[in-house]
Amino acid sequence: MPNQHPLIPGTFIVAIFSYLLMLAAYFLNRKRYFHIPAMAAIIVFDLSLPFYLYSHRQWWHRLIDQQEIFSSLLWMHVGILLTLYALDAAQIFTAMKIVKGDMEARIVHRSQGKVMLVVRLFAILTGMLLAP
């Protein structure tokens, strides 16, 4: 593993910690002082992780030289990430509706949260499989 950045294993530890934080925020949804900042931090983490990985990995060598761009696992991971980002946006949209007083949005928000837990778990697992 000479090309691996020494902080990459730490990335998975942080990703797993953020997933556990997301689980806690999901089950403590009535404690808004915890739920809202925790979920906002997780969304920021989700959005910033690709930039961190891009700046600390040799993507050109791995994707082009080693032809990993043709890997179905890579494209499955990209699809899962796009789904995760769409769910992040949907969660923000429904949360804004809840703040405005739309009580029906709570049901949608909770359902999206359940799906987000599963999709985020798959994103972490496929990311772990893709790591060298």
Number of H helices, E strands in the chain: 5, 0
Domain that holds residue 32: 8-130
- Six-digit token string for 28: 């403590």
Residues 91, 116 contacting (CB under 8 angstroms) = yes
Q: Is the pLDDT of residue 70 over 90?
A: no
Residue 70 in domain: yes
Q: Check whether 71 has a pLDDT greater than 70.
A: yes
| pLDDT, greater one: 71 or 16 | 16
In a domain, 107, yes or no: yes
pLDDT of res. 132:
65
Name every residue whose Cβ is closer than 8 Å to that of residue 41 and which is 6 or more positions away in sequence.
18, 21
pTM of the model: 0.82
- The answer to whether position 2 is within a domain reads no
Contact between 49 and 85 under an 8 Å Cβ cutoff? The reply is no
- Quote the mean pLDDT of the chain: 86
Q: Are 82 and 50 in contact (CB under 8 A)?
A: no
pLDDT at 34: 96
